[in-house]
Amino acid sequence: MTELDPRLARLQAQAREWAAEMRPYALEVDADPEAVTRVAHLPALARVAALQIPPEFNPEPLVLGDQTYYLMSASERVVFFEEGACADLGTMLGSPGGPMSGVVVDALGSQEQKEWFYGRLLARPTWTFFALSEPEHGSDAVNMATRLTASPDPDGPARLNGVKRYVGNAGRAEFGVVFARTGPGPLGFAATLVDASTPGFATTPVRTIGVRGAGLGEITLNDVEVAPDRVLGAHLRPSRRGMAAWLRTFNLLRPAVAVMGVGVARAAYEYVLAERRSLRVTERLRLERMERAIATTRRMLRAAAAAVDHDPSAGHLASAAKATSARLAERVTLAALDFFGPGARLEHPLLDKLVRDAGSVEYMEGTSNIQRLGVFGGLLRGAFPPLQAALLPTES
Amino acid sequence: MTRTGTALGAAWPEMLAVAHASGWSAALTALHAAAGPGVVVLGPAGHALVPDEVAEDADRLRQGEWEWAPDDTVEHLNTGVPGLTALRARRPVNAVQVPEARSWTTALAGLRLGLSYRLLEGALRYLDQRHTGDVVLLQHSVVKSAVADVVMEQLQVRCALEGAGPDGLDAPAVADLHAQITALDRAGVRLLGAHGYVEGGPGTAVHVSELLADAYRAGSGSTPGGFDE
């Protein structure tokens, strides 16, 4: 396994300990997604729900020895979330807190908006949503159909209309971020804070083949009122809250999504190790190849995390890591089946679940084809110089 | 060596056609019926995947060249797929020897390829209706490339099947073929984005196709270019 510096290694150890407590519930959550709410007291969920909050708003960060962690950097998140995804991706995605919406609020929110958002998260374990994808346009923000229409009264509420789909925790979230267009052009975008209890806000579950604990759903917005102070970045110049700002935010999120593929792949690999104690030579070689592929991808995405922590606009490596990780999860989980003979998916429900869960990585935060476009664009901009130094020089 | 029994190696075109036209349920019904009326064919570890009605109407279970009547020892396993029943049974001592339904996995490959064609056609319709930026998704070069990859893989599978005689392909060849179908279907379902991951949607047929490959041990679950050198 790729070596970590002592600070991140300590975080990894804590995450692993907490994550292990989630695993026994994995199949229960798969069968009944609402079981997530019954395990929300576990530290892996409850404690994490109060992290990913910037230092100025979080009086209770995670303290391990002489180190303090807020889980605000991509580098911390990839270490932490690999453990969660390895224990159970469905439960992890169904965790309370603001893992995605909180990043947007941090990037675009005013002081008052951050106090409102993070304050609610800290009050008690609370779920949030991140409503970007749409039924007809996926995560193609440029072509979003959801509209935020300003009120004729400058102090009156704007109104949201549209449909969002594949929104995690849609049915259990109390509030979150909804993305919408306000008009044409590169500045015609808005991210808004929306309370799920607002009239005109409705959700419908979307049952998925895997990661059922994520509780994906569709959100219908029918004249949902948005007060002027709930439009994120209203205090910023339009150029600083528009599409470019969103893309930087998504770059920050992408490594943490990508690492979920590594976590699921590792879970399948470890399942083989645990359940097949005696291996033939060819099987052992195959397992070693799987381990090497996992380690290589992990290294790539840790480099991607370091890159966006250094420069949030440097998302090209994160795109490559995301597509690679999605493929890794599929390959390793499918290959793991080979170790258990015919009917492995029926006889090994946890492994079957891992195969199903692995598919989800492809669809989160942009499909591999979208990531390929990002990689291709990065290539044209010279973002992958053949003679560059090591991607991750801090690791041995 | 002279082999006896019903050779299903030549049945793959029919299975392909039914799967393509009508989907997995009708095709699975046809495939089991090809082994004999009322017969449900089990995989090497005693598993079967059949439409609910076929499970209800089964009066014989067959594993290789052994056949017996279903009884209380047959377990029903949850597949999570509406309409699809999984059975698990052990061959009893009083099973009788019958002519084997040979080349089952070759015919199954035809069925899976039919589902694969069906998936791709659906994906093309889907991609032709969606945009990214101002461009129809299907016209994006990266999507064209991905579609072309699937088409070429399907052609390879088809060519391999057409080289099979009445006895079907040998075990290693059919194993590779099923792994290839799994890989190309994964590539195909990726074209659909998250739409392909929703229960009851086009991804469900891919899921069923993979379950079939698993239960009938019709090849490794891993994909070509995977972890075997």
Contact (CB, 8 A) for A362 and B190: yes
- Structural domain including A202 reads 128-236
A338: domain CATH number?
1.20.140.10
Residues A183 and A260 in one domain: no
Residues A248 and A376 in one domain: yes
Using a CB-CB cut-off of 8 Å, the residues of chain A touching B140 are 369, 373
Domain membership flag for residue A385:
no
Residues A276 and A369 in one domain: yes
Domain membership flag for residue A395:
no
Residues A278 and A340 in one domain: yes
How many folded domains does chain A comprise? 3
Chain A: closest CA distance from residue B15 (Å): 22
**Cα–Cα distance for residue pair A201/A225, rounded to 1 Å:** 9
Residue B41 backbone dihedrals phi, psi, to 5 degrees: -90, 130
Is B208 near chain A, with CB under 8 Å? Answer: no
CB contact under 8 A, B193 and A363: yes
Is B180 near chain A, with CB under 8 Å? Answer: no
CB contact under 8 A, A362 and B190: yes
CB contact under 8 A, B198 and A206: yes
CB contact under 8 A, A138 and B77: no
Residues A231 and A253 in one domain: no
Q: b/e map of A263-289 (b: 16 or more CB within 10 Å)?
A: bbbbbbbebbeeeeeeeeeebeebbeb
Average model confidence (pLDDT) across chain B: 88
CB contact under 8 A, A140 and B226: no
Residues A189 and A277 in one domain: no
Q: Give chain A's residues under pLDDT 70.
A: 1-2, 385-396
Using a CB-CB cut-off of 8 Å, the residues of chain A touching B146 are 369
Domain membership flag for residue A165:
yes
**Cα–Cα distance for residue pair B188/B121, rounded to 1 Å:** 10
CB contact under 8 A, A209 and B223: no
Residues 6+ apart with CB under 8 A from B227: A286, A287, A289, A290, A293, A331, A332, A335
Domain membership flag for residue A386:
no
Residues A160 and A262 in one domain: no
Among candidate residues A77, A103, A123, the one where a domain is terminated: A123
CB contact under 8 A, B228 and A286: yes
Domains of chain B, each with CATH number or no CATH = 23-101 (no CATH), 102-215 (1.20.140.10)
CB contacts < 8 A, A to B, total: 127
Using a CB-CB cut-off of 8 Å, the residues of chain B touching A185 are none
CB contact under 8 A, A359 and B200: no
pLDDT for residue A396: 35
Q: What percentage of chain B carries pLDDT values higher than 70?
A: 92
CB contact under 8 A, A335 and B88: no
CB contact under 8 A, A343 and B228: no
* Residues paired with A191 in a beta bridge: A179
CB contact under 8 A, B222 and A331: yes
Among candidate residues A174, A204, A236, the one where a domain is terminated: A236
Using a CB-CB cut-off of 8 Å, the residues of chain B touching A284 are none
Q: What does the pLDDT average to over B24-49?
A: 95
pLDDT tens digits for range B197-219:
999 999 999 999 999 999 997 65
Chain A: closest CA distance from residue B97 (Å): 22
Domain membership flag for residue A336:
yes
Residues A16 and A98 in one domain: yes
Domain membership flag for residue A64:
yes
E strand map for chain A? 62-64, 67-69, 128-131, 147-149, 158-167, 175-181, 189-195, 201-205, 217-226
Chain A: closest CA distance from residue B117 (Å): 20
Longest Cα separation, chain B = 67
Residues A182 and A298 in one domain: no
Quote the ipTM score.
0.72
pLDDT for residue B223: 46
Residues A119 and A202 in one domain: no
A29: domain CATH number?
1.10.540
Chain A: closest CA distance from residue B92 (Å): 19
Using a CB-CB cut-off of 8 Å, the residues of chain B touching A360 are 197
Chain A: closest CA distance from residue B215 (Å): 4
CB contact under 8 A, B214 and A344: yes
CB contact under 8 A, B47 and A133: no
Using a CB-CB cut-off of 8 Å, the residues of chain A touching B130 are 136-138
Give the pLDDT band of residue B224 (cuts 50, 70, 90): very low
Among candidate residues A107, A123, A139, the one where a domain is terminated: A123
Q: Which residue of B has its CA nearest to A357?
A: B197
pLDDT tens digits for range A167-208:
999 999 999 999 999 998 878 889 999 999 999 999 999 999
Domain membership flag for residue A392:
no
pLDDT tens digits for range B146-192:
988 898 888 888 888 888 877 888 888 888 899 889 999 999 999 99
A216: domain CATH number?
2.40.110.10
pLDDT for residue B195: 92
pLDDT tens digits for range A115-143:
999 999 999 889 999 999 999 888 777 88
Closest C-alpha among A302, A362, A332 to residue A138: A362
Residues A145 and A198 in one domain: yes
pLDDT tens digits for range B75-109:
999 899 999 999 999 999 999 998 877 789 999 99
Of A209, A290, A338, the CB nearest to B220: A338
**Cα–Cα distance for residue pair A77/B136, rounded to 1 Å:** 35
Residue in this structure with the two tokens 């597509």, named with its chain if needed:
A323
CB contact under 8 A, A346 and B204: no
Domain membership flag for residue A171:
yes
Mutant choice from A284, A345, A371 vs B, greatest count of B C-beta within 10 A: A345
Residues A375 and A252 in one domain: yes
